[in-house]
Amino acid sequence: MPRAAGFSPLPRGFGGDLRPRIASGPWSTVQSRGIIVHLVRPRRSIAACVCVLSFAGPADARPAAEEEPPPTLEPGPTVLDLTLGLAFMSRKMEVQVAGSDGPRTYSAPGFLELTVGGEFHPLAPLDDWASGLGIFITYRHHFLLLATTGPTDLGESIEVDTAEQELLAGALFRVPLRDGPASPSITLSLGGGFFEFALDPQAMSLLKEDVQMPTMSYKNIAGTVAASIPFGTPSIGFEGSLTGRWVLDVGQAARDLLGADTKGGSGFDVWAGLGGRFLGAEGLHWSVSGGLTIFNTELSGATTTGDGVIDGFPGATDRYLRLLVLMGYAFH
């Protein structure tokens, strides 16, 4: 077919091959990238064609339908949460001595402590405010605790076997502050249990009188306020807690050595650290935190040391410092 007068095809380098083909109908269209060519052939003449060029943006620049992000799968409410941790711990106890310039002290070297815990939320499937109600239990026990040493009246040092453990259980209520997996939350708990640091009484009795210390068994009621604040993602955030302890009893060994009328005292815990969820493993979570526990005891009454002096030890302060790494798994 003869080429239309006055029409020259665009070169190959200009958007590709635009060699037109004349269709049998009155209109023929050729498109290459950003140029659309409309060829108009009059019905009564094949000697002339009208070429109309229209320009469009590049094919890859045309607005495409926005793809919606894939939906985020949020875990359901936690029914059971189990944790296992390992802590590095140290202890220092000071007992005030009446008429003395300094306190009687006892220090335990740094040692390892195992921590196991669990939370159970039986109402979690209700998916309302009651889903935050639950019960908890925490148990700690020394791991490879080394015996401490002390001087005797003969000038030699002997080992004193030591042990440490704690059991605490009670009820809790967790409140998320908004919807979503990255929501901050506040947890309130109230429980009771005991915290004990034991020293072999037979070995302790062989030490010099001014360094002897008793086994401390703190039977206490503990109330805790805890907060979890994710940093915009559930994978990491701030975790902290404050616990107040009401000590009901410190044990018979403490009464015998430091004051027969001693009953209890008070204490508190402060914890702070980082924690979050492993996004690639549903239910798995972690935390790294440091904590300080202090017990204050008011001592009174006669003692078995110092010829039975009365109120010879006005009070005692018992400090425990921990660095804890914790792993857990939440069943939804």
CA separation for the pair 233, 184 (Å, rounded)? 10
Work out the angle at residue 128's Cα, subtended by the Cα atoms of residues 126 and 129, and round it to the nearest 5 degrees. 125
- Asked whether residue 250 carries a pLDDT value surpassing 80, the answer given is yes
CA Rg, the chain, in Å?
39
Q: Is the pTM of this model over 0.85?
A: no
Question: Which residues are within 8 A (CB) of 77 and not within 5 positions of it... i.e. 6 or more apart?
Answer: 121, 124, 125, 127, 131, 332
Least confident of 47-61, 191-205, 208-222, 290-304: 47-61
Contact 106, 316 (CB under 8 A): no
- Asked whether residue 210 carries a pLDDT value surpassing 50, the answer given is yes
pLDDT tens profile 54-66: 444 454 455 555 5
Check residue 304 and give its pLDDT.
Answer: 73
Q: Which of the pair, 285 or 182, is modelled with greater confidence?
A: 285
Check residue 219 and give its pLDDT.
Answer: 97
Bridge partners, 314 (sequence order)? none
pLDDT tens profile 275-312: 999 988 889 999 999 999 999 999 998 887 666 677 78
The dihedrals phi and psi of 201, each to the nearest 5 degrees, come to: -65, -35
Kindly report the number of other CB atoms within 10 A of residue 33's CB atom: 14
Bridge partners, 223 (sequence order)? 190, 244
Question: Which residues are within 8 A (CB) of 223 and not within 5 positions of it... i.e. 6 or more apart?
Answer: 188, 189, 190, 243, 244
Give the pLDDT band of residue 67 (cuts 50, 70, 90). Answer: low
Contact 320, 90 (CB under 8 A): yes
Check residue 66 and give its pLDDT.
Answer: 59
Q: What is the mean pLDDT of residues 219-230?
A: 97
pLDDT tens profile 130-177: 889 999 999 999 987 767 888 888 888 898 999 999 999 999 999 999
Which amino acid is present at 59?
A
Contact 233, 222 (CB under 8 A): no
Question: Which residues are within 8 A (CB) of 239 and not within 5 positions of it... i.e. 6 or more apart?
Answer: 226, 227, 228, 229, 271, 272, 273, 274, 275, 287, 289
- Asked whether residue 3 carries a pLDDT value surpassing 60, the answer given is no
- Specify the CATH class of 80-331 in words: mainly beta
The dihedrals phi and psi of 61, each to the nearest 5 degrees, come to: -100, -5
Q: Which residue spans of the chain are classified as CATH 2.40.128.100?
A: 80-331
The chain-wide mean pLDDT, for the chain, equals 82
